[in-house]
Amino acid sequence: MVQGSESGTAASAACVKFVAAWGFVTALKLLIAVHLPLFGDEAFYAWSARHLAWAYTDVPGGTPALIALGTALAGDTAFGLRWPFLVLGAALPWLVVRLARRLGDASSAWRAGLWSLPLPLLLPLGTLGLPDALLTFAVLLALDALVGLAAAPQRRAFDGLHGQLALALVLGALAHYRFLPVLAVGGLAALWLLPRPALRSPGLWLALLAGALAWWPVLAFNATIDGAGWRFQFVERHPWSFEARGLLQPIEQALVVTPLLYLASLLALWRGWRCGGPARLAAACAGGLLLFYALLAPFADRARFSLHWPLPAYLIATALLPAVLDHWRRRRPWWPAATATLAVSGTLLVAALFALPALPGLAARTAGSGLYPDNFLGWREVAAAVRQHRRPDEVLVADHFMLAAQLAFALDRERRVFVLDHWNNHKHGRAAQLALWGYDETGLAALPAGTPLLLAIEPGETPAQEHAAWLGRACRWIEDLVPIAVVAGPGEGKWFWLYRGQRRVGEQPAGCAVPLPPESATTQ
């Protein structure tokens, strides 16, 4: 009786600590979500939300749909865009608690949830309106259902766990193409480790059928665009040639997770594997995902940020972490405290990095350095300049997709902004989507001759020696281009040029000479 009372007291204390820490982290994420300017990709997903569809060339339909819901209920602001993702991100530690409770006692479950909170990679999840919040939520929801099936394989034909699994698979299919590696790893682990009664259950196969059908919109959409989405995600964005730098991926992961927590996560997965049963299934899914990304790293896209891809595996590992830390505490009492200190410090460092773009004065001091948060800044200034200089009848043109998306959101979520054929559009897989919307150069060419145009250019996205040639390309479609303003972002860390012109008659294939804007035209 005394032992049960002590166990209940430990669980209650762990619960209080978890709820307090979760409340603090959630409040911090809320503060960032309210004040942080839009990230470039967020703006493009918001633009997609103005053209709701089941699938797009860069993502399935889930992320734009959540943004459409968020802005419909909370307005066309950064917070309105982000709050559904904030809710999903806030739910993740609770899913860790739920998963850990299936694998152990209540005290260990609350402690596992507590250990998930200082994962530095978790802080941006839900703070930004990006697909990873929905993707990670779907992964944890699916694994929780599989672990529940492994723990109690004798289920009815279709019950709550089967329904939960079906929901998770549908959400994952709506989240991102990157859910496919999760399906591959989780499917192999389930076929190998789920008890035979669970595998024979019709409910499991109905859930898998629902998950498979959820990919139909993506498949059908890609069939109409010659597989542009598949090609970008799995072929064009990756070099598919060996790069030795990719071998450093485990070291990079150790740094972003923090070294001691990374080591503890690996040991937790190893211990879970040795324990067998449902813990082995969880460890196999997480470990398989880590192994997949480590093997992929030397051949995959290194040009864009991908450090966060294995995050679901670390969240799963935290569900297995308390037992490992208890073992360390007996042998090296200082180790858990050191692990927590490093992890919390890493999370606070990430929070400080997000504070840079949220505080323009602070961001201005980083101009010219690697800390300058380029993808967050300058949009407000250029949008204000466009409002100041734009005439009522002028159609807006931007030189690349990210600038166009930011202007579309800032200018009362304007639906139509034309985009020149910049290399950025292709690098980020957005060129085909712009063409489908009719906002590419073909759409620009279809405007009536003489249509007044306002052209916004971000010169930093084009090498300086190519500025004249790039302006000459704009001249193919726009004549009488006259510079009217130079706009500086915070700290003059980035610049924008505004030109006025009109749609020329036909196309001038040779281009023409366009004057660079004089510095005297700078708009503060």
Select from 378, 394, 385, 436 the least CA-distant residue to 47: 436
Instruction: Tell whether the model's pLDDT for residue 406 goes beyond 70.
Output: yes
pLDDT averaged over every residue in the chain: 90
Q: Which of the pair, 127 or 364, is modelled with greater confidence?
A: 127
- Evaluate the CA torsion angle 284, 289, 294, 300 in order and state its sign: positive
pLDDT score recorded for residue 305: 55
pLDDT score recorded for residue 514: 80
| Long-range pairs for 503-510: beta carbons < 8 A, 24 or more residues apart | 503/444, 503/447, 503/448, 503/449, 503/450, 503/451, 503/453, 503/477, 503/478, 503/479, 504/449, 504/477, 504/478, 504/479, 505/449, 505/450, 506/449, 507/445, 507/476, 507/477, 508/475, 508/476, 508/479, 509/476
Instruction: Tell whether the model's pLDDT for residue 500 goes beyond 50.
Output: yes
Q: Average of pLDDT values for 389-402?
A: 94
Q: Average of pLDDT values for 270-289?
A: 95
pLDDT band at 327 (very low <50, low <70, confident <90, very high): confident
Instruction: Tell whether the model's pLDDT for residue 521 goes beyond 60.
Output: no
| Pairwise CA distance, residues 183 & 165, whole Å | 12
Tokens of 423: 């290399």
| Pairwise CA distance, residues 345 & 347, whole Å | 5
Instruction: Tell whether the model's pLDDT for residue 501 goes beyond 50.
Output: yes
pLDDT band at 2 (very low <50, low <70, confident <90, very high): very low
pLDDT band at 413 (very low <50, low <70, confident <90, very high): confident
Q: Which of the pair, 330 or 187, is modelled with greater confidence?
A: 187
pLDDT band at 1 (very low <50, low <70, confident <90, very high): very low
pLDDT score recorded for residue 4: 52
Q: Average of pLDDT values for 113-122?
A: 95
Instruction: Tell whether the model's pLDDT for residue 45 goes beyond 60.
Output: yes
167-219 pLDDT, tens per residue? 999 999 999 999 999 999 999 999 999 999 889 989 999 999 999 999 999 99
Instruction: Tell whether the model's pLDDT for residue 309 goes beyond 50.
Output: yes
Angstrom distances, CA of residue 298 to CA of 32, 121, 289, 301, 302: 34, 22, 16, 9, 9
| Pairwise CA distance, residues 447 & 346, whole Å | 51
Q: Which of the pair, 415 or 55, is modelled with greater confidence?
A: 55
Lowest mean pLDDT across 328-332, 449-453, 461-465: 328-332
Work out the angle at residue 471's Cα, subtended by the Cα atoms of residues 228 and 504, and round it to the nearest 5 degrees: 85
pLDDT band at 466 (very low <50, low <70, confident <90, very high): confident
Domain boundaries, the chain: 7-36+77-357, 374-523
pLDDT band at 331 (very low <50, low <70, confident <90, very high): confident
Instruction: Tell whether the model's pLDDT for residue 446 goes beyond 50.
Output: yes
Q: Average of pLDDT values for 383-407?
A: 94
Instruction: Tell whether the model's pLDDT for residue 522 goes beyond 70.
Output: no
Which residues share a beta bridge with 60?
Answer: 55
